[in-house]
Structure 1
Amino acid sequence: MVLPTRTRHPGVLLAVLLSAQFLAQFDFFVVNVTAPALHRDLGAGPTALELIVGGYAFTYAAGMITGGRLGDLVGHRRVFVLGMLAFTVTTLLCGLAANPAQLVLARLAQGLAGAVMVPQVLAVITRVFPADARAAALGWYGVAGGVGSIAGQVFGGLLLRADVLGLGWRVVFLVAVPVGAIAAVLAARLLPSHPDPADRSPADRSPAEPGRRTRLDLPGALGVAGSLALVLVPLAMGRTQGWPAWTWLCLAATLPVAVLTGRRQRRLSALGGQPVLELSLFRVPSYTAGLIAGVAFMGYFASFMFTLTLLLQGGLGLGALGAGLVFAPMGLLYTTTSLLGARLVARHGRPVMVFGGCVTAAGLLLLALRLLAAPQSPGLAWVLGALALVGVGNGLVLPQLVGAALVGVRPHQAGIGAGMLTTTQQFAGSAGVALIGALFFAVAGDAPTGTDYAAAMTCSALVDLALILVVVTLVAVTRRASRRAAPHPVSPR
């Protein structure tokens, strides 16, 4: 498939698409640096702060699959524009919140809006960009997500320190409003308008839609959201509340709810319906391997960002701005190697990703060994050196994981494939923060000193190292498998 003739500026089109990924990640991470200000200025207690951070993560993850399916059914341009407008409005509501309850509700709605717009990014890239441009576009997708994550930490701290117009914590939300509004207007003009499912050509139509319109599987969407809620809510709130009985009951109910949802999805698919989960994608080896590798990577990345912030502020005594600036070199190196990664993979294949994973592993190991050797004063230079390796390695791995997972997905499955992929990654990030964060706090204790923070970071870094080794192994295994099979034109070999 080639770019439509009306799309004369593919670079601008890609920038508009990637603004959604950047904004979603920025708003997820920027709240981390606002917690003290929210407590001081808005009166947000511990439970409210958990919901402000975790509520966004939950609705974002729970709505992602449904958002992807909506794009397939209704049209990616229409859903992207509506999602971007909703994200802009809810971001404005976050900045105008007068009390913690209003901010919590606005954050829940903001996460849901993000879940509507973000799956359309990968879907449009997969459907619209030709093979010779798709790998680079997917690489930029990884850049946008990573830079958004780092910018949330760094730029958020700078905004709070500058106290623009005396707005305090509100500025971290309000700064994104004009960006979202401009992106929505440009998207309505630039994004290609794909036909409705009933009007697509037979070659681009799902077997489940033989020339007729299909409806969204609402029971399936509720089942998926419920399954995720039963895991994410207790993981997000259980530690601070002492793991009461309801958290264990929710976790125990996850499996039966997930099994029932899966059975309904298979039955609906067998009857020729359009289930919210496309289970047939798991028969595509590249998609399954890429999805599992993405889960391991995001479990490591989100938890590492979280625990490292705790080490920098609690263990090394840095403020929000200082801690944010420590992330800047890692973010710059990540951006650089992300841009180089697509070309390197196109030329040398997946060994580049294996090498990148090993560099990340070396950075994590260096950090752990330094904290073991000098827990009381590890030295900021050592930390920055380890983070430099992590940034270089991450840039060679993460953007290419997205392309490797979606390479075998057919065009009519692009939206749901992207939705399932991003949902599992978001879920992995939330679960990683909860589980590895719980390990961190357990090792650090109730009144941690600098040495306690170092010990806790060492343990979490070693767990993150194990997750990265899983990613490296999966990439290496799928590389060998792809060499035995006929390569896809856009697949990194």
Structure 2
Amino acid sequence: MEQPVSATTEHVTTPTVPASATTPPAAEPFPEPDPRRWRMLPVILSAMFVAMFEYFVVNVAAPSFQHDLHTSDAGIELVVGGYGFAYAAGLITGGRLGDLLGYKRMFVLGMAAFTVASLACGIATSSAMLIAARLVQGATAAAMVPQLLALINVVYPLHERPRAMAWFGATIGTGSVAGQVLGGVLLEANLFHWTWRPIFLVNVPIGAIAVVLAIRWLPDTRGAQRPRFDPVGAIAIAAAIGLALAPLILGRAEGWPLWTWISMAASVPVLIVALRWESRLGRAGGSPMVDLALFKERTFSIGLALSGLMLAMFGGFMLAMTLFLQGGMHMSPVRAGLLFGPLGVAFAGSSMLARRVSGRFGSRVIAIGAALSTTGLVLLGVVLTWRGTDLAAWQLLPSMMLVGAGNGLVLPSLVGSVLAGIRSRNAGAASGMLVTAQQFGGAAGVTVLGTVFFSALGSHPSGFGDFVTAMRWVDAVDVVTIVAILGLAFLLPKQAAGMAARR
């Protein structure tokens, strides 16, 4: 039997999860919840906010990098995409290190290193320095983000977990939209004539405060029986993810040279070798980076697929809408960013509503959210077709708000479903796998829908009508994706998302 984590973090899981992925029997009493748990929630959620903020904010600052640092097109791609590459490639390892060293320790180390990397980005004097700092920033984000989901999973009692997950979902939405809105505002304000530098330096005080409060308030969740680190699995899995992600992030802008196809093809055998190693290590009684027994649970497997597809749809939608507003409607970064504000409000509001709805409808709330997003995307297609070149920006708002509200309902409920029943010793690794699926999906969505947009737009667009056509094609692909998500949502056990809320 697995040893308890601590007097404040041991938890009981649902009885529907296989023995290989469950905690001790439910007959054991619940421990007294940590009295600091709601005080610590904003601290750990700050990691998700700054990680999402940095993922989106660089898009609006790319021209400034090119002007100030004389960065080449390839360099701009590495500044923008290098962060996402290092972030996604390191998430599973970051999660397992949390299981090994303790979630508090990894959170503090990750946040401190992320803060230093953000400072390095902000004071960079060359494109090479900025690229290197962005890669480190992504890797340190991978160290801290899995810990926040693991902490939620082990610190909060089952009946309080949906509330914490609702705040997690709201943070994803606000962080993503803040990257668009606050990034544009900071560039427009040009504080101290620092041009793009404040978009990185703003993380320094946030990170410093989070580190101090985390040291004071976060509980030590390291278990008495810790899993051993698997360096072979860590390297092999990171290599497989990296080989698949690098072409997705850089391929479209580079024109899909030969190396991108070789890299994607090589990722498959490397992943097969990595999974065989993990399977053999697990059978030998070791501690694999990825516990393959988790995939025997239908909720976990389907939930990972849904997470990837949902972020693919949302990431591609955000990119295409940004290109449409700034390129087609000639909006400034600030004005375009502000138009995303209502989407962020709808996202955050529905995330807070998700915990109540999931208590009544269980995992069907995921289908409800997908249906809302489907309605928004269909409405967008109707508006684009109806108004055409006479389209006004405000006419996009109802569609954008429906998409935001749908995603806000889905994400916290989906995260709660995927992590339901994960025992404490695997909470970090499972969280890393979940966020990896989301980041991989987001990168794939941006690549696929970006390719669709630019292919429909053509190399020499003749006017706004070409942008409308390109956006309609992206919208059509997104509708197909969200309908697939809607179908998968009905394969989840109904009680998966709602059981914790009812207990």
TM-score, normalisation: structure 1: 0.93
Query: What does residue range 327-366 of structure 1 map to in structure 2 within 5 Å?
Result: 327-366=340-379
1:471 corresponds to which letter in structure 2? Answer: I
Kindly indicate whether the alpha-carbon contact (under 8 Å) linking 1:407 and 1:488 is maintained by their aligned counterparts in 2: no
Q: CA deviation at 1:219?
A: 1.6
Query: What does residue range 220-299 of structure 1 map to in structure 2 within 5 Å?
Result: 220-299=233-312
Structure 1 residues 402 and 228, CA, compared in 2 at 3 Å: closer, same or farther? same
Structure 1 residues 23 and 79, CA, compared in 2 at 3 Å: closer, same or farther? same
Task: For 1:454 and 1:408, locate their aligned partners in 2 and report how far apart those are by CA, in whole Å.
Answer: 46
Tell me the residue number matched to 1:192: 219
Say yes or no: does 1:468 pair with 2:478.
no
Say yes or no: does 1:43 pair with 2:109.
no
Query: What does residue range 450-465 of structure 1 map to in structure 2 within 5 Å?
Result: 450-465=464-479
Deviates more, 1:96-105 or 1:381-390: 381-390
Q: CA deviation at 1:256?
A: 0.9
Which of 461, 478, 491 is the equivalent residue of 2:492? 478
Say yes or no: does 1:399 pair with 2:397.
no
Deviates more, 1:352-361 or 1:326-335: 352-361
2:35 corresponds to which letter in structure 1? Answer: R
Q: CA deviation at 1:491?
A: 6.5
Tell me the residue number matched to 1:105: 132
Tell me the residue number matched to 2:91: 64
For the residue of structure 1 that corresponds to 2:35, the secondary structure is coil
How high is the sequence identity, in percent, across the aligned residues?
Answer: 43
Q: Deviations over 1:238-292 (max 9, x none)?
A: 2222222111111111111111111111111111111111211101111111111
Task: For 1:278 and 1:348, locate their aligned partners in 2 and report how far apart those are by CA, in whole Å.
Answer: 30
Task: For 1:108 and 1:195, locate their aligned partners in 2 and report how far apart those are by CA, in whole Å.
Answer: 28
Q: Deviations over 1:330-373 (max 9, x none)?
A: 11111111111111211343333322211111111111222223
Task: For 1:354 and 1:239, locate their aligned partners in 2 and report how far apart those are by CA, in whole Å.
Answer: 32
Kindly indicate whether the alpha-carbon contact (under 8 Å) linking 1:290 and 1:404 is maintained by their aligned counterparts in 2: yes
Which of 124, 128, 150 is the equivalent residue of 2:177? 150
Say yes or no: does 1:131 pair with 2:144.
no
Say yes or no: does 1:34 pair with 2:61.
yes
Kindly indicate whether the alpha-carbon contact (under 8 Å) linking 1:72 and 1:415 is maintained by their aligned counterparts in 2: yes
Q: CA deviation at 1:471?
A: 2.0
Kindly indicate whether the alpha-carbon contact (under 8 Å) linking 1:293 and 1:470 is maintained by their aligned counterparts in 2: no
Kindly indicate whether the alpha-carbon contact (under 8 Å) linking 1:16 and 1:183 is maintained by their aligned counterparts in 2: yes
Q: CA deviation at 1:5?
A: 7.0
Kindly indicate whether the alpha-carbon contact (under 8 Å) linking 2:114 and 2:207 is maintained by their aligned counterparts in 1: yes
Say yes or no: does 1:11 pair with 2:38.
yes
Kindly indicate whether the alpha-carbon contact (under 8 Å) linking 1:26 and 1:151 is maintained by their aligned counterparts in 2: yes
2:484 corresponds to which letter in structure 1? Answer: V
2:56 corresponds to which letter in structure 1? Answer: F
Task: For 1:92 and 1:119, locate their aligned partners in 2 and report how far apart those are by CA, in whole Å.
Answer: 22
1:85 corresponds to which letter in structure 2? Answer: A
Task: For 2:133 and 2:113, locate their aligned partners in 1 and report how far apart those are by CA, in whole Å.
Answer: 11
Tell me the residue number matched to 1:215: 228
Which of 180, 186, 193 is the equivalent residue of 1:159? 186
Task: For 1:195 and 1:122, locate their aligned partners in 2 and report how far apart those are by CA, in whole Å.
Answer: 15
Structure 1 residues 489 and 236, CA, compared in 2 at 3 Å: closer, same or farther? closer
Kindly indicate whether the alpha-carbon contact (under 8 Å) linking 1:7 and 1:190 is maintained by their aligned counterparts in 2: no
Deviates more, 1:108-117 or 1:353-362: 353-362
Q: Deviations over 1:80-105 (max 9, x none)?
A: 10000000000000001001110000
Task: For 1:5 and 1:394, locate their aligned partners in 2 and report how far apart those are by CA, in whole Å.
Answer: 34
Tell me the residue number matched to 2:49: 22
Kindly indicate whether the alpha-carbon contact (under 8 Å) linking 2:44 and 2:148 is maintained by their aligned counterparts in 1: yes
TM-score, normalisation: structure 2: 0.91
Tell me the residue number matched to 1:423: 436
Q: CA deviation at 1:317?
A: 1.0
Say yes or no: does 1:53 pair with 2:80.
yes
Task: For 2:361 and 2:246, locate their aligned partners in 1 and report how far apart those are by CA, in whole Å.
Answer: 43
Deviates more, 1:347-356 or 1:235-244: 347-356
1:390 corresponds to which letter in structure 2? Answer: V
Structure 1 residues 13 and 425, CA, compared in 2 at 3 Å: closer, same or farther? same
Kindly indicate whether the alpha-carbon contact (under 8 Å) linking 2:45 and 2:171 is maintained by their aligned counterparts in 1: yes
Structure 1 residues 5 and 54, CA, compared in 2 at 3 Å: closer, same or farther? same
For the residue of structure 2 that corresponds to 1:447, the secondary structure is coil
Q: Structure 1: which 5+ residue stretches go unaligned?
A: 201-212
Tell me the residue number matched to 2:168: 141
Task: For 1:251 and 1:353, locate their aligned partners in 2 and report how far apart those are by CA, in whole Å.
Answer: 31
Tell me the residue number matched to 2:20: none
2:481 corresponds to which letter in structure 1? Answer: L
Kindly indicate whether the alpha-carbon contact (under 8 Å) linking 1:2 and 1:130 is maintained by their aligned counterparts in 2: no
Tell me the residue number matched to 1:204: none
2:57 corresponds to which letter in structure 1? Answer: V
Deviates more, 1:97-106 or 1:353-362: 353-362
Which of 420, 438, 453 is the equivalent residue of 2:451? 438
Q: Deviations over 1:408-451 (max 9, x none)?
A: 21222111110001011101101111121111111111122311
Structure 1 residues 447 and 420, CA, compared in 2 at 3 Å: closer, same or farther? same
Aligned length: 475
Kindly indicate whether the alpha-carbon contact (under 8 Å) linking 1:357 and 1:468 is maintained by their aligned counterparts in 2: yes
Kindly indicate whether the alpha-carbon contact (under 8 Å) linking 1:315 and 1:450 is maintained by their aligned counterparts in 2: yes
1:172 corresponds to which letter in structure 2? Answer: I
Kindly indicate whether the alpha-carbon contact (under 8 Å) linking 1:364 and 1:461 is maintained by their aligned counterparts in 2: yes
Tell me the residue number matched to 2:424: 411
Which of 308, 311, 314 is the equivalent residue of 2:321? 308
Deviates more, 1:320-329 or 1:458-467: 458-467
Q: CA deviation at 1:319?
A: 0.9
Task: For 1:234 and 1:348, locate their aligned partners in 2 and report how far apart those are by CA, in whole Å.
Answer: 40
Structure 1 residues 235 and 249, CA, compared in 2 at 3 Å: closer, same or farther? same
Q: CA deviation at 1:32?
A: 0.8
Tell me the residue number matched to 2:500: 490
